[in-house]
Structures are given as C-alpha cells and as structure tokens.
Structure 1
C-alpha cells in the first residue's frame, strides 16, 4: 500500500510557498481573516479570527491521525495569505481531496492561488500516483465553483443535503475531480495561466 505524505510536506513555486501549517501562523492568518471579513461568508467555513488557533489545532490533530496534510499559503513576500489541505486521503487507491481552502481576496484569481493548486496537483499525480484529485464546495458558492472549473476540474455531481453548515442551513455539495488521464492537459493549461501576465 502506498503512503501519501510526508505530513510535514512543503511545496515551492515561483509565486507561492506551501509550508506546514503551524500554531506560529495563527496571528497573521487571524489578521488576514479579520481584514477581509472572510469569516462572515455564510456559504463556506473560514475560521473567525478568535477561532484561528483552535482551527489550526484541529487540522494538526487530523494531520497526526494521517487524515490531512495542512498548509499555510505564503505569497512571494513570505506573508501568510491563506490555508489549504490535502484531505480525505485514500492511501490505497490512491486518491485525495484538495479542500478546506481559504485565501485572501487580493491573492484570488492570480498566480498565488493558481500555482498553489498546480503544485498540489503535481504532487498528487506525479509523485504519489493518484488516480484522481477531488474538489468539493457549496452548490451555491459560485465563486468557488468557477475557480475550480478554471483549474480544469469536471463536475461529478451534486450531493444533496450533504452537510449541516455552522449557521444551521443544509449544504448541497458540488463534487468536482481531475483524473490522472486529465492531468497532462490540465497541467499545460495551468502552466499557461501562470505564465500569462495579469
């Protein structure tokens, strides 16, 4: 059985670094969430500033159980601009989900976010040999769905009444994937997007 990891994995590109999530990042990440009021979005979960340390602890506990590989996203200046993870890790198939992601508005739809996903996909397909990488989001989160589709992922379907959100509403989950067969074309597309001037 293959093992996806290591849990303290780092990934580095020209525009972004994904470093192991650490309690040391809590203050900077909380400040970014507060400045962007990201925790007020009802259709996704971004930890509130006062809950950032607890969310980091939760993700690190999942990491220690082999269920998640969490990252802090750093921009070219080294500033923390978000969080992302490998989750729902299936070591046997192998297959992973890229999720539990949030990123500050100024880093969305640009080289930081695009290259972060490109690095994670490359690790999953070219190093781990995954058969597929999955993405999930709220059916009504059109911004997230468009971002996932811009990566080249295809919609697999909608899981109706899938999750209860913190505000009590029920989430229908849109499930997308990129397969190993898709990956060469998706990689070429992402490389072209990253190379384009903004």
Structure 2
C-alpha cells in the first residue's frame, strides 16, 4: 500500500504522540479507567477487557485504510493518558479526519489536549500538505463539540441518522473542519492558548 501518512512520533512540551502498538494495551486500559470513560454512551473508549480488540481494530484501520493511530503520553510524567488518530484518509484529495480521541479524566481540558491538536494539525498541514482536516463528534457530545469549536474549527453541518450505535440508537454526527487557508490563524490561536 502506498501510504500518504507514514508512522511518525510527534512531540511537544506537554505531550508525546507515538504510533499505537500492542505494547500499550495495559497502560491504555488503565488510562480509560481514569473516569470510567467507556461508560459515556456516545464515545468509543475501550471497556475493561476489550482494549486488545480495540487496538486490533485500530491497527487494522491503519493497515487497510491508511489511518495512523497514536498513543498519547504525558510528556512530563511519561504516563499513557489516551489515544487519538488520523483516519478517514483521502490521500488523493489531501484530506483526513482527526478523531477517536479520548483522554484520562485527569488530563482532560489541560494544555496536553491543545498541544496534541497543535502537533497533529501542524503535521497535517505543514508536512502532509493537507487541504482540509475534519473533526466529527456525536450530536449529544456537547463537551467534544465545544472543545472542537475552541480549537478554531468551523461547523460544516450535521449528518442526521449518520450511524447506528452499539445500542441500536441512531447517531447524528456534527462535522467540523479547518481548511488550509484557515490554518495560519488557527495555529496562532492554539499557540496563544498554550502560552496562556
């Protein structure tokens, strides 16, 4: 497979994003336990005992669809605190989505998340020459919607009855994006947030 996104480690002052591997299984399970994140019905965080299957699915998405899943590490402590990924990769159109993101409760709404997004977006726009980066979230995930908007992404619309959830409920998906021409202002905004 000719890959647009090659395995890469992205590192900043607060966070390190490394390629996801099976070696991270126990640490990811512990991170998900901080806040019992799998109980949020509108997210896809691995439940206890399901982390290996979740990693296998992420790696299959990497191998078959060109995605790039990351393990998120707190740069100050070295602790694994979550996961994120590039996926819905459209290399021919230089588009991708950032998502499948979750963090241990103790690091939510900290500089770690802002810096992770800065690193991911910088790599997408400046190294991969992406023309657009999307973010999608469940309509009912108001915390995620607010966080995406705080990044400087614009809401494109809502895909109604977009997916069927594990419980059979229909998911309305809110779509946001940052396009190439908006990236310089978003980059300044994210750097300013990190400095404050």
TM range (shorter): over 0.9
Q: How high is the TM-score relative to the length of structure 2?
A: 0.96
Q: Secondary structure at the match of 2:150?
A: helix
Structure 1 position 34, deviation (Å): 2.0
Does structure 1 retain, via aligned residues, the 8 Å contact 2:69–2:83? yes
Paired residue for 2:15?
A: 16
Q: Secondary structure at the match of 2:188?
A: helix
- Which segment is superposed worse, 136-145 or 61-70? 61-70
Q: CA RMSD for the aligned pairs?
A: 1.1
Tell me how far apart the structure 2 counterparts of residues 188 and 111 of structure 1 sit (CA, whole Å): 15
Tell me how far apart the structure 2 counterparts of residues 184 and 35 of structure 1 sit (CA, whole Å): 35
Paired residue for 2:140?
A: 140
Structure 1 position 3, deviation (Å): 4.7
- Which segment is superposed worse, 177-186 or 34-43? 34-43
Count of aligned positions: 194
Paired residue for 1:174?
A: 174
Paired residue for 2:60?
A: 61
Tell me how far apart the structure 1 counterparts of residues 107 and 29 of structure 2 sit (CA, whole Å): 16
Paired residue for 1:95?
A: 95
Paired residue for 2:163?
A: 163
Tell me how far apart the structure 1 counterparts of residues 3 and 180 of structure 2 sit (CA, whole Å): 18
Q: Does 1:35 align with 2:34?
A: yes
Residues 98-135 of structure 1, C-alpha deviation per residue, up to 9 Å, x if partnerless? 01111112211111111001000001001111110000
Paired residue for 2:187?
A: 187
Paired residue for 1:123?
A: 123
Tell me how far apart the structure 1 counterparts of residues 189 and 176 of structure 2 sit (CA, whole Å): 17
Residues 50-77 of structure 1, C-alpha deviation per residue, up to 9 Å, x if partnerless? 1001110111111112431000000021
Does structure 1 retain, via aligned residues, the 8 Å contact 2:96–2:134? yes
Q: Secondary structure at the match of 2:134?
A: strand
Tell me how far apart the structure 2 counterparts of residues 148 and 35 of structure 1 sit (CA, whole Å): 22
Runs of 4+ in 1 over 6 A off after TM superposition: none
